[in-house]
Chains A and B, each alone.
Chain A
Amino acid sequence: MDPINGGQARIMNSWLRRWLFTTYHKDIGLLYFVTSLWFGFIGSILALLIRTQLSVPGNTLLSPGSYDQAVTMHGLIMILWFLSPLAIGLANYFVPTQIGAADLALPRLNALGYWLYLAGGLMAALGFFMPGGNANSGWTSYAPLSSAQYSPGPGPTFAFAGLILLAVSITLGSVNFLLTIAYLRAPGMTFSKMPMFTWFIAFTMLQMLLAFPTLISALLMLMADRVIGTFYFTSSSGGALLWDQLFWFFGHPEVYVVLLPAFGVVAEILPVFSGRHLAERKVILGATALIVVPLSYLVWTHHMFITGINLSTQEVYSVSTLIISLPFDLIILAFIGTMTRGRISLKTPMLFAIGSILLFIIGGITGVFLSSFVLDVVFRGTYYVVAHFHYVMVGAAIFGLIGGIYYWLPKMTGRMYNERVGKVHFVLSFIGFNLLYFPMFFLIDMPRRYSTYPADAGWTGLNQLATVGAFIFALAQIGLVYNLVSTVRSGPIAPPNPWGAETLEWTSPVSEQPVSTGRDDNRMGGSGLWDSPLRAVLPIGTPHQNIGSSTGPILGMGAGGMPGGGTKGDYAHGAEHQSSRPVSLGLAAVVSVLGIGLLQYWYGLPVLFLGGAILAWTLVGWARDDLHGRFSIDELLGQRWPFHETVKLKLGMWIFLTTEVVVFGSILGSYLFIRSQVPYWPAPGSIHDIPLGLTNTLVLLTSSLTVVVAVHAIREGNQRLLLAGLCSTFILGAVFMGIKGSEWYQLFHLENAFNFTAGLPASVYYFTTGLHGAHVLAGMLVTLYLIKRTLNGGFSKENHFAVENFGLYWHFVDILWVFIFPLFYLI
């Protein structure tokens, strides 16, 4: 074997291992960063197709069907696969370093989040290549247009399933970040000293935590409608309005989810480049925490002013929407006030930050227009709305995040970007942006999502201006790509803290901690020019660099590039910080979703089984890793946390259960909404067997008692009682599932089969109890793991937080049934 080629293969292999199996926050940050830019590229191509189609009236470049897909996927990809993940990428990279943490609290969960995000995005993109095309009902996926009847085919199913994966990924991420920010701050990093970017990421994660579960619920119901034929959104008893309510309960907070990270970036950049402290820091934080975050859940109905909701509801939500503009007013004035009497250095990051503020002012003020439910009668569904939210989402959010990219690029790459190109990038972006979106404010009578328009409508000139602006804006982004690539390849070496910033990520104290040494020190040492993580992830670089003897660190493996040849070198935690399970779960998700989407064909079911098999194999592997302590970093515990702190670990479970409460809150809320809309509902006892249901309720509640016994036993150090408690819990869970199964079986074989497609009562019953049953099943699987670990002697008086956390979960599932039982059996 040719030694050189063999070596190359080995390096390639290591390179693949690093990026597939990494759980290190900076690596995952870079994966998010690069992947989100790719999705941004796809979304931009779709945007240019849209603008080209609308450049002349009566254009036939895109068929109406293709146009609808382009519009739909442009929105979904840009908001959910580009904007938020770009922010999450920066957050992954910089939140731990800003607060002096070695990594995120749960590194493998973080990796899993990335792979689910990518899996979802690939599924959504795959939809374009399916017969019948991709989702085409707008990013809002209004029912019943998004149903199997009006959007048939595997494409939309892929897109919606992809959205579920994304939403799950984001939910996992929010648990992880909140836990990290709550407990992994370095000593002395008090909340009052915490950097603004981290603060705003915390706000963002809190918003995600409460908003995305509703999206998950809504999408699960939509998938049930599409795949097994339930009637949540297809019935004429309020199906369309139910989707509106659920979607916008997610959709409005989502606006702030997109916006707040950019505000965090701007709040970092402004003081640094003005040479002053951030003005009114406490006001900014207070306004966001006390008004923006909570109130964002109380304004969603302003998206529904003309859906036929009653007048007083419109008035209330109009006022709440106005109130939410007040904190933004304070924030913007504080931002501007920061510059007053400063010494403003107009470097590229600052230009983008200022651009972000300026464009947000326009986006925000037009938002006040839209809060008027009377004006909204005309604005709703027109280009005025399109202009408004692009000023917020592109203007404020993307300009801010691009500012963040320039700001942190020297930190991520160790090199400086080209300032002149950066400035040209900004100027062209700013001009292109305004030329693109400002004309749309005057297209008040042109409905959105029109695939074409007649020449006599009077919309041609404004549309052409917008199209010209779109191409200028798109071409300007070549500046960004040029700067990213050329900085990584050949930018001059950056000083450790080029901007004179005061936040922790620039002073890099992380080097004191073994877990996070590595590439930072390497770069700081000045000799590790090739070890830039960004370089390793970008498909660039000349061949001789890739095989050079001292260039191992380029590829992320080996320690040859370390000054002094330290073995803890570049990829400090190397193998023990890697796990193949997250990417394997991502694969399981892709294959399962493929199977679900293709169920209409004969091979759908086998593919779904294959996905299930990979999932089972991965979960077993993950459990075995834990049983054998293979993933040796104590997740969350790190080095500094003694075991008696494990009580705090419960916080993670509580945060997770919060998302579960929102998931089931949305589902039970939907039940109540449907009950309020349908004229007919079966009387108690007429379909469901009340004594049997009651028995099952008692079985499940008893299992809560056995869990209490188990938890108390191990708190006393009694392993045998723990084992007995866990086994009883498992058996009671199995009995519950058995009774449930027999109930379903009987209902299916009633004279008038009460099956999935037997009407709204059946839809709601099977969906709700089915999802609850899935939770019981998941709990039983965890019980099996705990039993195995108990048999291995894995729990002790001091170390048993897995049991404690399982206890919380199991109680939650039981309490849930206490709500479900009366709703379906008794009333």
Chain B
Amino acid sequence: MLGVYLATVPPTVGIWSSLFNLYNVFGAIAAILVISYLVYNVVKYRRREGHDEAVEERGEEKVNWRKVLFTLAITSSVLFVVELQTFNSVPLIVPPQSSDPLNIGVVGHQWSWTFVYPNGDRLVGNLTVPAGRVVILNITSTDVTHSFAITGLDVAVDANAGRYNSLWFTAPDAGSTYTIRCKELCGVGHAFMTAKMTVVDQATFNAWIQSTGGKPGS
């Protein structure tokens, strides 16, 4: 069961989730420690009614360098560990060396997405990709700035007029669908600028793309 689950996790999701988990673990520990320290101090040293003992002399202002360095060392080590893992997660952004990637153009405009297939086909609002294959999207815009994001695949990049940005993913399961959204405010249709992504098996994809007139993507 677990094996099946693991097998169907898209690689981009695997990278992002494990990185997020690492940050969550360290972040939660740090937050709990520091907030507990804060609350502990507030409770422990709060002034109690009736216990109005003489006011403690205000301490001399003196820098505790050992404490400062200790704090910096601990924090830096944690930051180093998580940042190292971020650097190790760069494959989320950089497409893998694949012998056979499928390149698809994406054009954002107010307020829909147009997908341009290698055979020259243009489809609005509907992206169909083959399962298990590296897909590279080259994304641009014809008007304002949009941001192309596939919910559930943990990939996104901005769409700017006059330039191409790219992202990659592999969707493992034929039959699954994803929602594509715009993440950058682009006018009144921003919330409705969605598209549907359908994953089909390679044979179906080839048949579909041939039926629309061109040769299979290569």
Contacts and interface: CB of A to CB of B under 8 A. Distances in A.
Interface centre among B83, B145, B152, B192 (most CB of A within 10 A): B145
- Chain A interface size band reads 35 or more
Given A339-B41, A362-B31, A450-B190, A142 B161 contact: no
A330 B68 contact: yes
B208 interface: no
A506 B183 CA distance: 50
Interface residues of B, number: 71
B160 A68 contact: no
B183 A240 contact: no
A283 interface: yes
A144 B154 CA distance: 27
Contact of B82 (A308, A346, A357, A372): A372
Interface in A312-335: 315, 318-319, 322, 325-326, 329-330, 332-333
A345 B45 CA distance: 9
B75 interface: yes
B34 interface: yes
A276 interface: yes
A670 interface: no
A809 B63 CA distance: 43
Interface centre among A280, A354, A357 (most CB of B within 10 A): A280
B179 to A, nearest CB: 8
Contact of B157 (A308, A339, A369): A308
B161 to A, nearest CB: 4
B87 interface: yes
B123 interface: no
Contact of A447 (B20, B41, B181, B189): B181
Interface stretch (B89-97, B98-106, B126-134, B196-204): B89-97
Contacts of B110: 150
Contacts of A136: 187-188
Nearest to A445: B151
A377 B16 contact: yes
B68 A280 contact: yes
Contacts of B192: 64
B191 A339 contact: no
A351 B192 CA distance: 43
A308 B145 contact: no
B190 A451 contact: yes
Contacts of B171: none
A307 interface: yes
Interface stretch (B54-62, B113-121, B209-217): B54-62
Given A283-B63, A361-B34, A451-B191, A377 B184 contact: no
B176 interface: no
A343 B149 contact: no
B136 interface: no
B92 A308 contact: no
Given A276-B56, A311-B93, A341 B45 contact: yes
A380 B83 contact: no
A143 B160 CA distance: 10
A336 B30 contact: no
Contacts of A357: 38
A330 B71 contact: yes
Nearest to B16: A378
A274 interface: yes
A382 B183 contact: yes
A333 B68 CA distance: 9
Contact of A150 (B27, B47, B143): B143
Interface in B56-88: 56, 58-61, 63-64, 67-68, 71-72, 75-76, 79, 82-83, 86-87
A307 B148 CA distance: 11
The SS class assigned to the B binding surface is mixed
B185 interface: yes
A496 interface: no
Nearest to B78: A368
Contacts of B55: 275, 343
A318 B147 CA distance: 20
Nearest to B142: A236
A110 to B, nearest CB: 33
Nearest to A273: B47
B35 interface: yes
A329 B71 contact: yes
A375 B188 contact: no
B174 interface: no
A826 interface: no
A306 interface: yes
A189 B135 CA distance: 66
Contact of B144 (A142, A319, A382): A142
Given A336-B37, A365-B27, A374-B16, A448 B185 contact: yes
A318 B89 CA distance: 13
A280 B63 contact: yes
B9 interface: no
Contacts of B186: 145
Given A142-B184, A275-B58, A333 B71 contact: yes
Given A64-B189, A449-B185, A377 B92 contact: yes
Contacts of B154: 377-378
A325 B191 contact: no
A257 to B, nearest CB: 23
Given A275-B56, A361-B38, A343 B45 contact: yes
A340 interface: yes
A736 interface: no
A65 B188 contact: yes
Contact of B188 (A64, A142, A239, A330): A64
A336 B188 contact: no
A584 interface: no
Interface in A348-371: 354, 357-358, 361-362, 365-366, 368-369, 371
Nearest to B12: A377
A145 B145 contact: yes
A10 interface: no
A321 B50 CA distance: 48
Interface string B18-59: 011001000100110011011001100111000000011011
Contacts of A451: 188, 190-191
Contacts of B30: 365
A240 B72 contact: no
B50 to A, nearest CB: 13
Nearest to A278: B61
Contact of B89 (A143, A274, A333, A374): A374
A240 B141 CA distance: 11
A342 interface: yes
Nearest to A339: B41
A307 B158 contact: yes
Nearest to A244: B145
A496 B64 CA distance: 35
Contacts of A374: 15-16, 19, 86, 89-90, 92-93
Contact of B161 (A240, A278, A322, A448): A240
B144 A381 contact: no
Contacts of A143: 145
B137 interface: no
B165 interface: yes
Nearest to A147: B144
B40 to A, nearest CB: 9
A138 interface: yes
11 contacts: A145-B145, A280-B68, A282-B61, A283-B63, A308-B160, A326-B79, A339-B45, A346-B42, A354-B38, A375-B23, A381-B156
Nearest 8 A/B pairs, CB to CB: A236-B162, A381-B183, A308-B165, A64-B188, A450-B191, A372-B86, A374-B89, A449-B185
Given A319-B83, A343-B56, A377-B154, 7 more contacts: A68-B187, A143-B145, A344-B46, A369-B27, A373-B86, A374-B89, A378-B20
